[in-house]
Amino acid sequence: MYITKWCLGIIGIIVFSVLFSQGSLYYYEDFSNPVTVSNWEWPLKYGLDGLIYPPDSDSTLQISGGTLNMSGRAQYAGSWDFNGFFCGRAARLTNTYNAGEYHPFGFTVRRGQTQTHTPNGFYWDWNILAIWLVQAHTNIIMQEGHAPFAKFTYFYFFYEREGGNTDTAGFGSYNGSWADIDMTSRTNYSGHVENFTHADAPFKGWHDYGTNGQNTNEALFMLTHNGSAVSIYMNPNPDDRTGFTYRNEFYLLARNNIAYKSNLQLMIGHMNNTGSDDGFRTASAVYDDLTIRSVASGINYYRKKINNGYEMVVKPAFTDSDAGIGEIIFHSPCINDFHLTAVKTEAGDKTNNGSIASLTRTDKRCPRQGYYYLRRSEKKLVVKFCQRSDRVNDVIAYNTLNKTIRLQYKHRPDSGLNKTLKVYAACRKYAGEDYTRISTTGPMRMRRVERPACCALLDQDLKK
Amino acid sequence: MKIIKTVFFILSGLSFLAAQYYFREDFSTNIQGLAARGWLTNYRYGKTGYLYLTENLSGDDGGNDCGQDGTTAQKYTEQFISNGCIVHRGSPNFVRNSFSGLLAGNQIKYINHGSSWNASPATPVGVQVLRRYAWLDPVTSCKWGGGGSASPRQNCDAGLWLFVDEDPAPYTNSPQVFINGYKELIYFYERAHAKEPDRSVADTRSRWGYYLGANNDLTIDKLSRPNGSLLDLTAARPNFPTGLRWRYVDENSGYANTNTIGQRITHDGNKVRLYINPNPVNQAWNSYPNEWCLLAEIAVAWNSNLTFMIGAEAFRFDQERCDADFDNVLLRSVSAGTGYYKYEKQLNLKWNRTEYTLSPRLKEHNAGIGEIELVWPGSIKRSQFKKIIVFSDFKKNGSLHQHKTVYNKERPDPGEILVSFYSRKIKLRFCQHSDSIHNVVTAATPCRQIRIIFQYKRGLQQVKPQVYVNCEKYAATGYSRYATTGRQLCSPAEDYVRSVP
């Protein structure tokens, strides 16, 4: 009888794990070889006004020298036929993705040297760098030579544009209209606010190109989609450059609600909207290291009553490409009534041995192994594990022997917390920590499930 | 059972009260009088935002006095009322080459909507307008051949906008002020080019489409009619030599389109739908049907604080005209909310019987219920149903009477209910012959209930249909008080299911 219960329990856990949808995302492109680079299509003659083939162009958009790089203009030399239209060039990753709260999508891409420039004098004259998210059409061929003005019905892009009668370029998000981003006040995950425009900042040069200015500061951009909103983040100092005051963390630049979440593709390119060739005009940039990495294949949890409150039993599933769980985020309008009493993971005894033990709470935002950091903000409570390096960390990942996380907490029965609580897992970059396998998709919501009967049996046995 | 029903109908009047919309503008005033009716006129808005360009005859014109020497018909934009229409004439992007490439427009915007126009499946929003006249000529005579070859860059358009009314910024009528535009909008346009990129000048025609961050030109050869069949708006017909894809450029033998065309935009909270009615006033020479035909369906992530505007815009400084006359703006809901009560009974091992009782709340300005749709999430077959019976007070005497169920008719006659099967839905239509001969359930109907009884195979029991009401215009119907919002989702009351073992 005892053996039967154990067998049932183990089978239950296996079934419980298999029930996760196969939601892992992983893709990495270092653009090292234009011949072997897979699933990319370039240069697609695509800009905001769709597929356009202007008669003259000095655009170079190519994969060479280990990067995706571009310069020049999609239209120029007095080719006036499409004057005023945004003609572009882009490289498109033809893989398609779906996004949802339980399986968010996102990617990071490193941007190196850039320059955007347009002579002053014309309000309508823009040179633009763009990172796109589009919904692939099933009935429109979006390739060279096909119907002019063919478009993705649903699209979004993050831009840097220069022109409009000024030397100063600016970032923005395009979700149906131009929306410039105020860079004087951007906030990162942990609530730190940064000004990216102050006078002594090396990043002022990002936007003040003048005629020949080049921005050589590298940055990581991240675009995420959680099924209902797209978010754009920027890490201004991904290499911890000496002398830089900016943190090696991601700052939220823009968030927009969108109505599409399936069949998604990404593109990187540039565009301009005049055939004029008077003066120096370009939108040039170098991109590298495009990465798509999910937190996990899927994460379920169930809740059970314990003597002094409740226990949330988290059961994640991973592939070896997933980032793993470096943070757990509790979200509820009633979060002030949520009192965490214990966090138990495989890292509790600092040994990857299959047994779960309690972590100790610390006030350090980059906790050591065996500790966790707790941060509370409006509607959120964040539990953060150690992510010091790829070798020294408490991230629950594919190679963790016992991947179960037990979170014990209390709340008033009538607080509304149980009905409103949403729980997410993430693995994000924080300054001072060097765990490199961060997720690019943003937080992944855990799916609450009924406590399996087989687990109840197993729980009973574990108490014995 | 009777007690539950009684409570349901007592409460139904309150519980299903939802937002209802009614707005009508026939432009029976002068341009100054429109302000008092809630309109903002001469609103200089185009796709690229708010841009006020003055009539500057001596300004930067790219070196050409194009239009100012009396050699062309180009003139500055203006709005006025004439023959009961709001008339747009001239070009809002005028003379100053510095702003060429920015879509500068001139609109009339409805601003008296408050914050109550919020779209949802149960409270859809829909606005329609009749365009009486259009002449979209993007090329001035002096630029035809002399100032550069005809190309796509020469384009202009006119149409109807629906958007979230968050003022982009305080605006002034100061010259050359440019302000970024509304962030959440859709614009349903007809656009004319001097030359399309993949066509010859002579073969270039106007395009119908929508702007949702970028122009999306659409094909108009397969629009869905209300009965589900398709309509081609590109084929030549009397007074439509090139269908609705008009040739406007006078240097290319083009001219104005004087056929009245209807444009409608609906929003059900999740999707925007665009409709064209190619003959909304039954013009004698017009052989198109007087129907609102579906052109496109677009998912959007915004649905509150909606309003609309109407106008025209030009892309360049050297364009001749974007003239358009609009009339009869109309926004009318089906009902002020409709709830239903469902009674289900298992007849035997094979068949079930379901009875829906609809209880609409109807106001004077509502269209009323001219048809009902039962929509299943998956496909259905006609063989899964039998004995579809509908009762309503079509005799207007305060009692429910059984309609005669008919199939395969173009339109139902008085006392009939026309049942049509589609892949996922059943549509039940009442008679809508005219404003005096119809069975539409309106505010004036003494007993405003509708009862639907049908038997279906038991397998369908697992998937419950959604119930919608509508009052749509068909070519063969003459009831004029139809709805402009599209179908309206009904709210289920507490389902009362009794199974017979």
Tens of pLDDT along B452-463? 999 988 776 567
Q: Report the chain B residue with the minimal C-alpha distance to residue A55.
A: B197
Pick among A75, A137, A149, A157 to test the B interface (most B CBs inside 10 A): A149
Question: Based on the domain organization, do A301 and A201 belong to the same domain?
Answer: no
- From the list B88, B81, B123, B120, the residue with the least C-alpha distance to B104 is B88
How many Å apart are CA A198 and CA A188, to the nearest integer? 18
What are the angstrom distances between the C-alpha of A34 and each of A29, A43, A114?
11, 12, 21
| Beta carbons of B197 and A52 less than 8 Å apart | yes
Q: Where residue B382 sits, what CATH number does that domain have?
A: 2.60.40.290
Question: Of B99, B148, B182, which is closest to A80 when you measure between CB atoms?
Answer: B148
pLDDT of the residue at A231: 98
Question: Based on the domain organization, do B90 and B220 belong to the same domain?
Answer: yes
pLDDT per residue over A256-296, tens digit each? 999 999 999 999 999 999 888 777 888 999 999 999 999 99
Q: Provide the shortest C-alpha distance from residue A53 to chain B (in Å).
A: 9
Domain end: A259, A293, A327, which one?
A293
Query: What's the whole-number average pLDDT of chain B?
Result: 88
Question: Based on the domain organization, do B81 and B224 belong to the same domain?
Answer: yes
Contact of B103 with B253, CB cutoff 8 Å: no
| Beta carbons of B212 and A153 less than 8 Å apart | yes
The residue among A15 and B150 whose pLDDT is bigger is: B150
Q: What is the mean pLDDT of residues A61-81?
A: 90
Q: Is the per-residue pLDDT at A14 higher than 50? A: no
Q: Which two tokens stand for residue A201?
A: 């900042």
| Beta carbons of A155 and B298 less than 8 Å apart | no
Q: What is the mean pLDDT of residues B348-366?
A: 92
Q: Where residue B312 sits, what CATH number does that domain have?
A: 2.60.120.200
| Beta carbons of A81 and B149 less than 8 Å apart | yes
B316 interfacial to chain A (CB closer than 8 Å): yes
Question: Based on the domain organization, do B322 and B366 belong to the same domain?
Answer: no
What are the angstrom distances between the C-alpha of B123 and each of B117, B335, B484?
9, 9, 12
| Vertex B372 angle, CA B368 and B376, to 5° | 150
pLDDT of the residue at A138: 74
| Beta carbons of B215 and A149 less than 8 Å apart | yes
Cross-strand bridge partners of residue B209 = B189, B217
Question: Of B153, B215, B300, which is closest to A80 when you measure between CB atoms?
Answer: B153
Which residues from chain A sit within 8 angstroms of residue B184, using beta carbons?
176
Question: What range does the domain containing A228 cover?
Answer: 26-293
How many Å apart are CA B278 and CA B234, to the nearest integer? 11
Q: What is the mean pLDDT of residues A419-423?
A: 95
Cross-strand bridge partners of residue A70 = A61, A285
Question: Based on the domain organization, do A80 and A154 belong to the same domain?
Answer: yes
Q: What is the mean pLDDT of residues B348-364?
A: 92
B216 interfacial to chain A (CB closer than 8 Å): yes
Contact of A116 with A283, CB cutoff 8 Å: yes
Question: Of A84, A177, A260, which is closest to B100 when you measure between CB atoms?
Answer: A84
Pick among B189, B193, B215 to test the A interface (most A CBs inside 10 A): B215
Antiparallel, parallel or unpaired: β A371-377 and A360-362: parallel
SS3 call for A418: helix
Question: ω before A43 within 30° of 0 (cis)?
Answer: yes
Q: Is the per-residue pLDDT at A218 higher than 70? A: yes
Provide the percentage of residues in chain A whose pLDDT is more than 90.
Answer: 66
How many Å apart are CA A150 and CA A140, to the nearest integer? 7
Question: Based on the domain organization, do A220 and A231 belong to the same domain?
Answer: yes
A244 interfacial to chain B (CB closer than 8 Å): no
- A30 domain-assigned: yes
Domain end: B282, B298, B332, which one?
B332
| Beta carbons of A177 and B99 less than 8 Å apart | no
Question: Based on the domain organization, do A287 and A342 belong to the same domain?
Answer: no
Question: Based on the domain organization, do B345 and B275 belong to the same domain?
Answer: no
Q: Report the chain A residue with the minimal C-alpha distance to residue B150.
A: A81
Contact of A96 with A135, CB cutoff 8 Å: no
Question: What range does the domain containing B10 cover?
Answer: 2-18+335-497
Question: Based on the domain organization, do A252 and A227 belong to the same domain?
Answer: yes
How many domains does chain A contain in total? 2
Question: Based on the domain organization, do B388 and B410 belong to the same domain?
Answer: yes
Which residues from chain B sit within 8 angstroms of residue A150, using beta carbons?
none
Domain end: B315, B332, B349, which one?
B332
- Specify the amino acid at residue B253: S
- From the list B374, B366, B322, the residue with the least C-alpha distance to B123 is B366
A421, with CB counted inside 10 A (0-12, 13-18, 19+), is buried
A24 interfacial to chain B (CB closer than 8 Å): no
Instruction: Give a three-class secondary structure readout of B273-284.
Output: EEEEECCCCCCC
A50 interfacial to chain B (CB closer than 8 Å): yes
Which residues from chain B sit within 8 angstroms of residue A50, using beta carbons?
214-215
Quickly tell me which residue has 């003055």 as its tokens: B54
**pTM for this prediction:** 0.91
Q: Is the per-residue pLDDT at B5 higher than 70? A: no
| Beta carbons of A177 and B270 less than 8 Å apart | no
pLDDT of the residue at B75: 80
The CB-based long-range contact list for A377-381 (8 Å cut-off, 24+ gap) reads A377/A191, A379/A331, A379/A332, A379/A333, A379/A335, A380/A329, A380/A330, A380/A331, A380/A335, A381/A329, A381/A330, A381/A335, A381/A338, A381/A340
Antiparallel, parallel or unpaired: β A405-410 and A309-317: antiparallel
How many Å apart are CA B33 and CA B247, to the nearest integer? 35
Q: How far is CA A196 from the centre of its chain?
A: 20
Q: Is the per-residue pLDDT at A186 higher than 90? A: yes
Strand ranges inside B347-436, DSSP E: 351-360, 371-375, 385-392, 401-402, 404-407, 416-421, 425-429
Question: Of A151, A176, A258, which is closest to B185 when you measure between CB atoms?
Answer: A176
Q: Is the per-residue pLDDT at A125 higher than 80? A: yes
pLDDT of the residue at B52: 83
Which residues from chain B sit within 8 angstroms of residue A53, using beta carbons?
197
Question: Based on the domain organization, do B288 and B357 belong to the same domain?
Answer: no
Domain end: B332, B361, B383, which one?
B332
Quickly tell me which residue has 């349901």 as its tokens: B8
B212 interfacial to chain A (CB closer than 8 Å): yes
A53 interfacial to chain B (CB closer than 8 Å): yes
A212 interfacial to chain B (CB closer than 8 Å): no
- A181 domain-assigned: yes
| Beta carbons of B149 and A124 less than 8 Å apart | no
Chain B residues 76-135 within an 8 A CB cutoff of chain A: 98-102
Q: Provide the shortest C-alpha distance from residue B189 to chain A (in Å).
A: 16
pLDDT of the residue at A272: 94
| Beta carbons of B198 and A48 less than 8 Å apart | no
Q: Is the per-residue pLDDT at B214 higher than 60? A: yes
| Beta carbons of B214 and A122 less than 8 Å apart | no
